[in-house]
Structure 1
């Protein structure tokens, strides 16, 4: 590993990674990943993932995940998880967990926990 400061930004290079600052944004490139800044937003592309920026929001799509941006809120759906924004609060539901937002506070309920 080699950590060097490039114009006030940290750059890490090792055998498989290269971190470079591009116009004040961090870019990581290695054997199967490419992090590029698109109009000030971070985009990651590798063999099975693509992070395109949609109107200033990060979207991840791969074989079992889909992060579409819904009106400025991040939504994750895959085989066992669903992250949806409910009135500006994050809600996670999967097989054993449910994070509903109660008046702006996070509530976690699963098989052995209750907050």
Structure 2
């Protein structure tokens, strides 16, 4: 056989082995690195802060908890971050309980890190 055909057939065999291993063990997943998590938290917080700022400057209202916090800001003058924090406090406590019972500290710490970052940006 020619070397090109040998390479092609060995590559096909490697692919078949990987598919068989994947079928037996399930899909292979890779964890995100710490720098990827940090980048996602920062970029997500910046996008939320930018969107909230645009809605606030245009005196618009969005749905959900953020909309209620914006209405509170328009009617009483309470800063958005404070109203949003107070409105979401019951949800945060519930998430904290759920994180302790199912996923551990990782979900809880990520939630509070993103909250602190959005508060600093907003």
Q: Which has the higher helix share?
A: 2
Q: Which has the higher strand share?
A: 1
Q: Answer 1 or 2: higher relative contact order, Cα 8 Å, separation at least 6.
A: 2
